[in-house]
Amino acid sequence: MAQQFDVIVIGAGPAGYHAAIRSAQLGLKTACIEKWRSKDGKTVLGGTCLNVGCIPSKTLLDTSHKYSEAVHDFDDLGIKTEAIAIDVPAMMVRKDNIVNRLTQGVAALFKANGVETLAGSALVRAGSTVELTDGEGNQSLLTADHIIIATGSVPVEIAACPLDGALIVDSSGALAFQSVPKKLAVIGAGIIGLELGSVWNRFGSEVVILEALDEILPGADQQVAKEALKQLSGQGLDIRLGTRVTGTEVSDDQVNLHYSDAEGDRQESFDQLIVAVGRKPCVDHLLAADSGVAQDEGGFIQVDELCDSPVAGIHAVGDVVRGPMLAHKGMAEGIMVAERIAGQQTLVNYDCIPAVIYTHPEVAWVGRNEQQLKEAGIEYSIGMFPFSVSGRAMAANQTAGFVKVIAAADTDRLLGVHVIGAQASELIAQAVSAMEFGASAEDIGLTMFAHPTLSEAFHEANLAVDGQAIHISNRRRRK
């Protein structure tokens, strides 16, 4: 007989494990199915984020940033060092240890909360039934009142650049290099391409990033994207816009890359190539023909604002559904669905999702940018504050970038906050809180900020919306 649960979650990435833990906390009999296995056959929890995404990439970004500071900036601070070197295998061991600690932490949380982990691949069938196939090919049937699909996403592959796992890799491969490539190509100047390009550039690789579009970071405020391009190019990243990769050949341990740009068809040789051209929803062997669950034209599982599919009792959350492919967006959706199953009225505020790019300087934003507001015909005022005049930024030798606050011209409510600068990933949290509470620029202006901090730049940018900033000459800009 089929095993019965209140809730079955498919996928133990951030969206799935949040949904599973919250469901169990709320007293629901919960199982979480995960197909990821380690080389020694053990089930691996945590999904893309913990294993080959957010956490390993930030580990390498933080290490490479420290290395870069030691090599390039310590002298300016009066710190004398002997020759600095990077031990890549040691860095990777540390990264793997952090990943293991966190993935085992999810397993411990499942145990503590009474979530049953089921190893294997799930297929959703009609009638709230899930067919589970374990690593040995054994099949069993499970039923549940609610099924939460959280199967995430996988890297997009392009026919022009077939991966070989050694010279041509995706983001997972680029997080496991055992040495610094001399000359490295990255296809795609999206978030992942810029972050991974930065890591290896800081360790001394000659990095060329090839991007088909004429701009980087199309989702960012254009003023911020331009500043990011300037800063990253200044660090030695060779970012070539309007450049489309059309093919590759591998010979003599080299990748010969074919591409076209304004000057026509060209080719260039590299030691390694990272393909970072985006991600797509993971739906392979997930939906039986009779499941009733539909996908949109991009392959994403169709759901409404509440993450409910048209089939009663089937929900989907995280990267496998519409919206930005960000871990925290999936976590919020997972919690919402679990709480609604338990009868609560939780919602996700899709207007308040922070986005962060962990380059240096970091880029972060929440809410709408100038392009979007112009397109929507909404009048707004802008307050800007540069880190170059912040005492704390000077003390920290981190004066690049600015905070840009956009407030509604009529109500003064914050519509968007855009930061490029050191610790933008942390600074943006206060903007998210302010916007969640419907704050106006004046509200933030009337709030006290500790001195000296980088957060004072957020305070001053809000004051600048109405021409009241203290440490810059104010020019009011109303659009």
Say whether residue 158 binds ligand AMP (CB under 6 A). yes
Say whether residue 191 binds ligand AMP (CB under 6 A). yes
Cβ neighbourhood burial of 461 (10 Å; 0-12, 13-18, 19+):
buried
Stretch that binds ligand FAD, among 149-157, 227-235, 338-346, 403-411 (CB under 6 A): 149-157
Say whether residue 245 binds ligand AMP (CB under 6 A). yes
Residue 54 interface partner, choices ligand FAD, ligand AMP, none, CB cut-off 5-8 Å depending on type: ligand FAD
Q: In the window 116-145, what residues touch ligand FAD (CB under 6 A)?
A: 121-122
Identity of the residue, 102 or 213, whose beta carbon is nearer to ligand AMP in the bound complex: 213
Residues in binding contact with ligand FAD, number by CB under 6 A: 36
The whole-angstrom separation of Cα 269 and Cα 252 is 11
Cβ(281)–Cβ(294) below 8 Å? no
Q: In the window 41-100, what residues touch ligand FAD (CB under 6 A)?
A: 47-49, 53-54, 57
Say whether residue 88 binds ligand AMP (CB under 6 A). no
The site string for ligand FAD over 265-284 (x = CB under 6 A, - otherwise) reads: -----------------x--
**Which amino acid appears at position 65 of this protein?**
H
Identity of the residue, 316 or 441, whose beta carbon is nearer to ligand FAD in the bound complex: 316
Residue 12 interface partner, choices ligand AMP, ligand FAD, none, CB cut-off 5-8 Å depending on type: ligand FAD
CB of 152 to ligand AMP, least distance (A): 15
Cβ(185)–Cβ(210) below 8 Å? yes
Candidate residues 37, 183, 226, 244; the one interacting with ligand AMP per rule CB under 6 A: 244
- Alpha-helical (H) ranges within 203-317 are 222-234
The whole-angstrom separation of Cα 71 and Cα 55 is 24
CB of 425 to ligand FAD, least distance (A): 8
Stretch that binds ligand FAD, among 30-38, 211-219, 395-403, 432-440 (CB under 6 A): 30-38
Say whether residue 210 binds ligand AMP (CB under 6 A). yes
Identity of the residue, 58 or 477, whose beta carbon is nearer to ligand AMP in the bound complex: 58
Give the side-chain half-sphere CA count within 13 A for 19. Answer: 35
Say whether residue 319 binds ligand FAD (CB under 6 A). yes
Cβ(343)–Cβ(335) below 8 Å? no
The whole-angstrom separation of Cα 329 and Cα 432 is 13
Q: How far is CA 293 from CA 137, 152, 285, 382, in A?
A: 25, 16, 13, 44
The whole-angstrom separation of Cα 142 and Cα 106 is 23
Pairing of strands 314-316, 139-149: parallel
The whole-angstrom separation of Cα 474 and Cα 283 is 52
Query: For the chain, first and last CA: distance in Å?
Result: 66
Say whether residue 211 binds ligand AMP (CB under 6 A). yes
Say whether residue 354 binds ligand FAD (CB under 6 A). no
What phi and psi, each to the nearest 5 degrees, are found at residue 2? -65, 140
Q: What kind and span of H or E run contains 140?
A: strand 139-149
Point out the residues that are catalytic.
451
The whole-angstrom separation of Cα 400 and Cα 424 is 11
Which of 20, 333, 328, 274 is CA-nearest to residue 156?
A: 274
**Partners of 184 in the β-ladder:** 207, 272
Cβ(153)–Cβ(66) below 8 Å? no
Residue nearest to ligand AMP (CB): 190
CB of 159 to ligand AMP, least distance (A): 10
Say whether residue 400 binds ligand AMP (CB under 6 A). no
Identity of the residue, 282 or 382, whose beta carbon is nearer to ligand FAD in the bound complex: 282
Where does this chain bind ligand AMP (CB under 6 A)?
Answer: 158, 187-192, 210-213, 244-245, 276-278
Applying CB under 6 A, the residues found at the interface with ligand FAD are 10-16, 33-36, 47-49, 53-54, 57, 121-122, 150-153, 171, 192, 282, 286, 318-320, 325-328, 330, 358
